[in-house]
């Protein structure tokens, strides 16, 4: 009987050892409270990207926040945050991307259907005018650890098509608030001359040699018209629409600035149309007359003396 009692005691001691020994083997107790890790907040709308590190040399559709430096837009910048959204996953890179819409709205445009345009833009059931937009969108996302921690925001960064460093702000450029930074404009060599004021080097059907808009150039693209049925609209109506669009975009009562500029309508002739009722696309731009050259974008320039050389 005593042997059974001793055997039972040995079994109990063994079981207690099996329970308590792992606790000892795991090491010392740590006294304290667990704290959640803090991650950087999304960059605020209206701030600008100052430095992107090695990523600044590429044009990705999205960048992680890690390593990016944001700050004031007063000096050289790489892009501007135009909105912060709740992680939309669809339509990345599309003009229906919520980030693209945020940029267009911040710039002062209003949506008519799916197309952002000026409130003053001429419009009929058959013709719609809209500014030619020179920005592209990059999505700034939380870093990998922040995503694992549950962060799901998207910061919308608007940058010029050509990338690089520039000065100026995009917000409000299609209102009276400010003029368009040259980095967001589209310019090329062209000039008018001769007794008839003929324009040379302006056919946008062919590949144009683009120039920086803050360097001497002859022409600047302003707007694009889309015509639903070309048989319902005359060339004269389209010229009048181009002139009205130029006046609204330059914020000038006279878009020729007293003859220093010429407003040019350039129909796209290589669009593959075969029927008189086919759609049509037309470009509207301005050219410095004579031997003059523009040295900045004239979008939003107003009634100030034009930025001319020569």
Per-residue pLDDT band at 67 (split at 50, 70, 90)? confident
Question: Between 144 and 189, whose confidence is greater?
Answer: 189
Would you place residue 59 in the very low, low, confident or very high pLDDT band (cuts 50, 70, 90)? low
Strand pairing of 62-64 and 135-141?
parallel
Does one domain contain both 143 and 220? no
Tell me, yes or no, whether 146 and 199 share the same domain: no
Tell me the per-residue pLDDT of 196-218, one tens digit each, with 9 for 90 and over. Answer: 445 555 566 666 688 999 999 99
Domain range holding 219? 185-309
Please check whether residues 139 and 217 belong to one and the same domain. no
Position 6 in a domain: no
The predicted pLDDT at position 94 comes to: 65
What's the pLDDT band for 39 if we cut at 50, 70, 90? confident
Q: What is the pTM of this model?
A: 0.81
* Domain count across the chain: 2
Residue 128, domain member (yes or no)? no
156 and 203 within one domain: no
- Residues in contact with 66: Cβ distance below 8 Å, sequence separation at least 6, in sequence order: 143, 144
What is the band of 35 on the pLDDT scale with cuts at 50, 70, 90? Answer: low
How large a percentage of the chain has pLDDT more than 90?
58
Are residues 218 and 147 both part of a single domain?
no
pLDDT at residue 257 greater than cutoff 90: yes
Does 142 reside within a domain? yes
Is 237 part of any domain?
yes
- Give CA–CA dist 211/288, Å, rounded: 14
Record the tokens describing residue 245, joined without a space: 């669009």
Looking at the structure, tell me whether residues 151 and 192 fall in a common domain. no
- Whether residue 167 lies inside any domain: the answer is no
155 and 189 co-located in one domain: no
Same domain? For 234 and 275 the reply is: yes
Residues 65 and 144 grouped into a single domain: yes
**127 in a domain, yes or no?**
no
Domain shared by 105 and 203, yes or no: no
Q: Is residue 10 part of a domain?
A: no
236 lies in a domain?
yes
CB atoms closer than 10 angstroms to residue 267:
16
**Are the CB atoms for 289 and 192 separated by under 8 Å?**
yes
CA distances from 188 to 180, 215, 245, 286 (A): 17, 10, 20, 11
Q: Mean pLDDT across the chain, nearest whole number?
A: 83
**Are 255 and 216 found together in one domain?**
yes
CB within 8 A of 81, min separation 6: which ones? Answer: 43, 44, 45, 46, 47, 48, 49, 70, 140, 155, 156, 157
pLDDT computed for residue 159 by the predictor: 95
Mean pLDDT of 285-293: 93
| DSSP β-bridge partners for residue 80 | 48, 158
**90 Ramachandran zone, left/alpha/beta (phi>0; psi -120 to 50):** beta
More confident residue, 33 or 3: 33
State residue 191's pLDDT score.
64
Whether 261 and 213 map to the same domain: the answer is: yes
């Amino acid at each position: 009987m005593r042997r059974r009692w001793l055997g039972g005691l040995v079994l109990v001691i063994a079981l207690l050892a099996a329970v308590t020994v792992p606790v000892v083997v795991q090491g010392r107790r740590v006294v304290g409270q667990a704290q959640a890790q803090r991650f950087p907040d999304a960059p605020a709308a209206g701030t600008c990207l100052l430095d992107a590190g090695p990523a600044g040399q590429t044009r990705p559709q999205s960048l992680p926040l890690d390593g990016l430096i944001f700050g004031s837009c007063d000096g050289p910048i790489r892009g501007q945050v135009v909105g912060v959204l709740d992680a939309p996953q669809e339509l990345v890179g599309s003009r229906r991307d919520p980030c693209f819409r945020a940029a267009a709205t911040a710039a002062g445009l209003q949506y008519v259907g799916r197309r952002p345009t000026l409130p003053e833009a001429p419009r009929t059931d058959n013709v719609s005018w809209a500014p030619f937009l020179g920005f592209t969108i990059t999505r700034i996302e939380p870093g990998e650890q922040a995503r694992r921690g549950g962060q799901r925001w998207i910061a919308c960064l608007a940058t010029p098509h050509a990338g690089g460093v520039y000065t100026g702000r995009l917000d409000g450029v299609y209102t009276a608030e400010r003029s368009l930074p040259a980095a967001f404009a589209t310019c090329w060599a062209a000039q008018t001359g001769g007794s008839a004021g003929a324009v040379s080097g302006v056919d946008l059907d062919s590949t144009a040699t683009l120039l920086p808009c803050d360097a001497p150039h002859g022409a600047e693209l302003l707007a694009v018209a889309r015509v639903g049925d070309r048989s319902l609209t005359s060339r004269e109506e389209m010229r009048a629409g181009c002139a009205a669009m130029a006046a609204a975009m330059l914020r000038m009562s006279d878009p020729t600035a007293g003859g220093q500029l010429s407003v040019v309508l350039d129909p796209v002739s290589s669009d593959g149309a075969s029927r008189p009722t086919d759609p049509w696309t037309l470009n509207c731009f301005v050219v410095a007359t004579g031997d003059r050259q523009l040295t900045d974008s004239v979008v939003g320039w107003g009634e100030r003396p034009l930025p001319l050389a020569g």
